[in-house]
Structure 1
């Protein structure tokens, strides 16, 4: 079975980290996000990665890791539906579609079995939330058949607490619904049409954990969650010199942290130098940054190669020009919050 990993977005919600690194390669517990997706797939899966941003970096990583995958380039953003249609020549039957910035406990084999048991045309994964007013929820029958989607309902009007969790199992004929070469939203255009035409459209509820790591708050939250899951207070990479205190954080390779410094609830990428008496809280610091003695950082996202000499709070730090071709506004995925 083919598995299409949707990795074509710019990751604007995580800028400036994504100015230099494609979102699928951003580290989560010092391992690229896309690794979590690949490792969740059945071993016999034929992996297709739909990408249009910094393809060479993704290709290089896959080759270094020895991953047998097709990197299917999009010349322009095509949306979730357009990306699937663009991979049509590689698909020969029922297939999977997976958003690359979702980390979850979904058992893919059980998900596929459910799809087959229900003789479904499309099956989507579902996750239960409390804050229904911030998501699109499903109106679902007791047998799992989805009747419609309702976008951000008032809590008292929501037909369920179940949201689209970003993994889909689809029959080959779904491709007939998608116009080639166009930007198409699977969630806003194709799904409603299939339901309206009476197609067998089911939802598979799973339990455990689900995290959209495509924005700062959930990226940091996923880091803390996975550290707890592994019973770790922090995680440190290779060749580091840590003289300060690190808690609920990850530190990349070749980093140094000076005396009396504290890193709390943060993500530090490779090759960073953190001076003495520094405090870093709820922040993400990209590769090759230098943070001078005595600096306090809170809720900061710093891009690569920044030299930080003064304290700051609630800042996205990028002292260089916007990379050529990078959008000034978000090109969003409609299944997102």
Structure 2
């Protein structure tokens, strides 16, 4: 069976994280969200997966390569152009990306699945396919109920008693929505649907294709099944989903590493003396990370691989990504440290670590660590002159 993962979006609502990685590569406790999607597809018999890419395409392609290590075959369709050897992304829209693949090779020659690459799901895809075929649909979308005040985030549908979609609205205002049954970004298509998509032009599944199919009265159905759907639509969702995973609210999610103490999971080669470090679960610590004596860790907390957390540091309710050095001066609560940014996911404030000149508090461990003067460091934080000791 064949599938496509939509991975070409710019992820504007998840900036600044998506300045460095494309949205499908956002990690959920060490693994990119797209890796969980690939595993789900494989579980339900998908063996060939196409991925459309554009923004930071090599990050996706270099990680998944041909898919062999994940037990599937994978290939990529880049949306953009090359000028003087420089790639410039130009997404074709979700439907336009499908059409480009079909025009190139005729890849979609049987019932196929399309999934957005930015959500953790545990859908019974086999059951969804059974219902799709039973209805003799040309398109089925997996739908679920959302709070009425949140319909503006999603496409919503109006159904008849048999589940046929009579109307599709893309991200309507709450007062104009025909329902609160939302599109989850999981689709089942028959190849004939590609005849409704123009070639070589930007064309969107939710904004253009689905409204057209509904208006034309095609065999277009909504399927409502019970499943967990953890959508990563913005920076706050990154933290909310991670927190839910750590607190055990996501049933069936397998924590990586091993549980060395109740609620404390680690990768291999972690350096930590539990008699000298105060840990309040749930906490995950990535492989080859050093937690020095005198550190306080309060969950929910994720510390990535190859990090160093120095004596005196406090980390509470945080996500700290790989290769981060956290100095003993750092007392961080409710923050995401990603690349050279320190982000508050609740109010979207961002500190550029380099621009703020606070590399002595947070830095990349691969940078050379220079000897430091504590008074100078504190003065920099306070934006004051250091004391003159005589």
What's the CA shift for 1:310? 9.0
- 1:167, CA displacement in angstroms? 0.6
d(CA) in 1 for partners of 2:66, 2:315: 31
Q: Please say if residues 145 and 201 of structure 1, whose CA atoms lie closer than 8 Å, have aligned partners that are also in contact.
A: yes
Distance in 2 between residues matched to 1:305 and 1:271, nearest whole Å: 15
Equivalent runs, 1:184-203 vs 2, <5 Å: 184-203=203-222
CA deviation profile, 1:3-36 (whole Å, cap 9, x unmatched):
1100001222222222222222221111011101
Q: Deviations over 1:196-250 (max 9, x none)?
A: 1111111111223212213101111110111122666121100112222131121
Q: What residue number does 1:117 align with?
A: 134
The answer to whether structure 1 residue 106 and structure 2 residue 123 are counterparts is: yes
Q: Given the superposition, is the C-alpha separation of residues 154 and 31 from structure 1 closer, same or farther in structure 2, using an over 3 Å criterion?
A: closer
| Segment drifting more, 276-285 vs 91-100 | 276-285
Question: Is 1:280 the equivalent of 2:280?
Answer: no
| Matched residues, number | 305
Contact conserved, 1:132 with 1:158, CA < 8 A, in 2?
A: no
**In structure 2, the residue corresponding to 1:87 is in which secondary structure?**
helix
Match of 2:313 in 1: 261
Indicate how the Cα distance of structure 1 residues 264 and 143 shifts in structure 2: closer, same or farther if over 3 A, else same.
Answer: farther
Q: Structure 1 stretches of 5 or more lacking a match?
A: 292-296, 312-337
| Aligned: 1:139 with 2:162 | no
Note the alpha carbon deviations across 1:54-85, whole angstroms, 9 max, x for none: 22222221139724201111122101110111
Offset of residue 302 of structure 1:
5.9
1:76-99 Cα offsets, whole Å, 9 max, x none, are 210111011111122112111110
Structure 2 residue runs without a partner (length 5+): 81-89, 254-262, 265-281, 361-390
Change (3 A) 1:171 1:73: same
Paired position in structure 2 for 1:69 = 74
Deviation, structure 1 residue 259: 3.4
Aligned with 1:152 (options 172, 178, 185): 172
Contact 1:149–1:192 at 8 Å: present in 2 too? yes
- The match for 2:272 is none
Q: Any idea what SS the aligned residue of 1:163 has?
A: strand
Partner residue of 2:238?
A: 219
Q: Give the structure-1-normalised TM-score.
A: 0.82
Query: Aligned equivalents of 1:304 and 1:50: distance in 2?
Result: 33
Q: Which has the higher contact order (CA 8 A, sep 6+)?
A: 1
1:271 corresponds to: 323
8 Å contact from structure 2 (residues 3, 46) kept in 1 = no
Query: Is the 2:284–2:302 contact (alpha carbons within 8 Å) kept by the matching residues of 1?
Result: yes
Seen in structure 2, the aligned counterparts of structure 1 residues 300 and 253 have a Cα distance that, compared at 3 Å, is farther
Larger Rg: 2
Q: Residues 284 and 300 of structure 1 are in contact (CA less than 8 Å); yes or no, is this contact kept in structure 2?
A: no
